[in-house]
Structure 1
Amino acid sequence: MPHSASFPPAAVPAPAAVSPAGRRGDRPALAILLMILVSLIFSLQDALSRYLGSNYPPVLVVMLRYWFFALFAIALAARQPGGLRAAVRTRHPWLQIARGLLLVTEILVMLVAFVKLGLIESHAVFIAHPLIIVALSGPVLGERIGWRRWAAVAVGFVGILIILQPGVRVFSPWAALPLLSALMFAVYVLLTRMVSAKDDATTSLFWTGIAGVAGITVAGLGQMQPLAPADWLPMATLCVTGVAGHYLLIRAYSLAEASSLQPYSYTQLIWVSLIGLLFLGETVGANVVIGMIIIVAAGLFTWWRERQKRAQLPPA
């Protein structure tokens, strides 16, 4: 699932889940290519966010991006049946507001992690968020989690420990930021599942943008400062590629089942690592590589088990 300081696909409307036989116009090969391209775009966004966040208050960078994202959410909602009037109506107003505020806070935390730790190490820990979602699905949503998936969660957290190496090296408090971001994003996804029972995806996207932009604007107005002329282009690129990435993500979801595309979102790790190593002067230790491999393997296993469970259910 492409994510980071980029806006996550969980905030973007995807087609309702249907059986493979029930979908028309599926083009899985094109959908996979689009997902890989989206991962590249989001990785470039993260690099731009790291650059801008190193020169300006991170809350200012997120606020400017969210202004653009809110316009995107409003425009997208206006084009749906019922328009903005339908998008505003929600059965869960407080949960929707909580989702929006939680997501924008998580994005801000992850941006600070990029600045303090770099892209590679931040992503190496953040990719554990699918495992955190599994771990919280039981107590929060009452889902039944089998021992195999619990074992995968445990293995994934071993990978996190290998990356962070507590007790082996001097532990930096900044190293906790991507883990905190992963936890916040997992809670955001669970809240999204809760509201999706009665609110459609367009309504959730609209509230994600409106609640988030309101919260970050309140926090960021006191940090306003002019951008240097040379930084207007990176900021504009950050905003435009965000919309382009989410448009392509929606297209990918329209061409194939979202669950079938999930493994390809891990290609963002490849792009992030290449950008960090080749252009940002970052280094990656053997512990980070080993930890990433363990976490990705555990995440792919939980995805495979969930696909198996869905395949056993009768067609909707």
Structure 2
Amino acid sequence: MFKGVLLGFMAFAAYAFSDAFVKSLRGSLPAYEAVFFGATLGLAALPFIKGGGDRWREVMFAQRQGLWLVRAVASAVGSIAAVIAFTALPMAEAFALIFLLPIFVTLLSVLVLKEHVGWRRWSAVVAGFVGVLVVLRPGFRVLGVGHLAAIICGLAGAISMIALRLAGPHEKRITLYGAGMVGSALITGALMLADFRWPQPGQWLLLLGYGLLAAVAAVLLMLATQKAPANHVAPTQYSQMVWAVLLGYVVFHDRLDWPMAIGIAIILGAGLFTFVREEQVTQWWKRVRML
């Protein structure tokens, strides 16, 4: 159990450093091009994820192909939005808005899965959006495309999670992972055909860090869920905020004021509470192979 949770912390630390690498590009490449190379490099994790009885065709061909396509599109949209958000915003602020994902999952659970949501989870939803207002302070600060992109990333992640809930019990890990990586690579590869720019040597190093660290994180997360239940591993995702604050302060010289820090705390608290309640009510970890 301890090893699984520790591997979870290591996985999300690797994800945070991966995001720091793509932020270091500072918009010097189109977001979809960065995602293409990141997703292509992320395919390096496939040999480690592939099980003994898995076939390579299962990376792209699923038992429920429609849900595979939903996850592929959501992953591509979310990844592009994440790159834009990290480029335009301080890391902690971008993560705070992206961490609206559990709130969006609750809303989609009602709309799509027809799940019953009690007053506690609705209270967390309201608190999460209050936290967003505190962070954004509309009317008191300039809002930009980065804020919109971060929220879109959280929404896309929630759509992917709902599709994962529906497909997870029927699909293999290699299929679930392939939807995110192959889907993102194909969609962003098509987008960059109109205006492709060869990365410079320094940009290649940043892209390598972005893609390979994400691949390492995926393998660590898989190992984590083999050693501990997914419901114990998933909350370690919130450690990314610690890394976001540290990396933002040390590497990018980001500064957080008190209202933003309070808003971030509200969003994280609401998201974590929502996760705990969803765990108790839906027992999703018993129905989904987490990856």
Confirm or deny a common fold (TM above 0.5).
yes
Map of 2:6 onto structure 1: 33
Count of residues in Structure 1 that have an aligned counterpart in Structure 2: 284
Map of 2:35 onto structure 1: 62
Q: Is 1:42 aligned with 2:6?
A: no
Shift of 1:136: 1.4
Shift of 1:293: 0.9
- Report SS of the residue matched to 2:170: coil
Which runs of no fewer than 5 residues in structure 2 stay unpaired? 287-291
Map of 2:120 onto structure 1: 148
Map of 1:120 onto structure 2: 92
Q: Given residue 194 of structure 1, which amino acid in structure 2 is its aligned partner?
A: L
Equivalent positions of 1:81-92 (< 5 A) are 81-92=53-64
State the structure with more CA Rg: 1
Distance 1:180 1:35 in 2: 25
- Report SS of the residue matched to 1:141: coil
Distance 2:130 2:275 in 1: 18
Distance 2:23 2:137 in 1: 24
Shift of 1:190: 0.6
Q: Given residue 65 of structure 1, which amino acid in structure 2 is its aligned partner?
A: G
- Say whether the 8 Å CA contact 1:77–1:203 is kept in structure 2: no
Shift of 1:222: 2.9
Which runs of no fewer than 5 residues in structure 1 stay unpaired? 1-27
Indicate how the Cα distance of structure 1 residues 303 and 86 shifts in structure 2: closer, same or farther if over 3 A, else same. closer
Shift of 1:185: 1.0
- Say whether the 8 Å CA contact 2:16–2:243 is kept in structure 1: yes
Shift of 1:49: 0.3
Deviations 1:63-97, CA, capped at 9 Å, x for gaps: 11111223533x35654414224555423223212
Map of 2:171 onto structure 1: 199
Deviations 1:120-177, CA, capped at 9 Å, x for gaps: 2111111111111012101111111111111111111111111011133333343222
- Say whether the 8 Å CA contact 2:44–2:215 is kept in structure 1: no
Map of 2:289 onto structure 1: none
The correspondence for 2:249, drawn from 277, 298, 312, is: 277
Distance 2:234 2:51 in 1: 27
Map of 1:246 onto structure 2: 218
Indicate how the Cα distance of structure 1 residues 208 and 126 shifts in structure 2: closer, same or farther if over 3 A, else same. closer
Map of 2:271 onto structure 1: 299
Shift of 1:61: 1.1
Q: Is 1:166 aligned with 2:138?
A: yes
Distance 1:173 1:231 in 2: 23
How many percent identity over aligned positions?
24
The correspondence for 1:213, drawn from 170, 176, 185, is: 185
TM-align CA RMSD:
2.1
Indicate how the Cα distance of structure 1 residues 80 and 157 shifts in structure 2: closer, same or farther if over 3 A, else same. farther
Map of 1:13 onto structure 2: none
Q: Given residue 12 of structure 2, which amino acid in structure 1 is its aligned partner?
A: S
Distance 2:23 2:197 in 1: 18
- Say whether the 8 Å CA contact 2:49–2:173 is kept in structure 1: no
Distance 2:141 2:121 in 1: 30
Indicate how the Cα distance of structure 1 residues 250 and 135 shifts in structure 2: closer, same or farther if over 3 A, else same. same
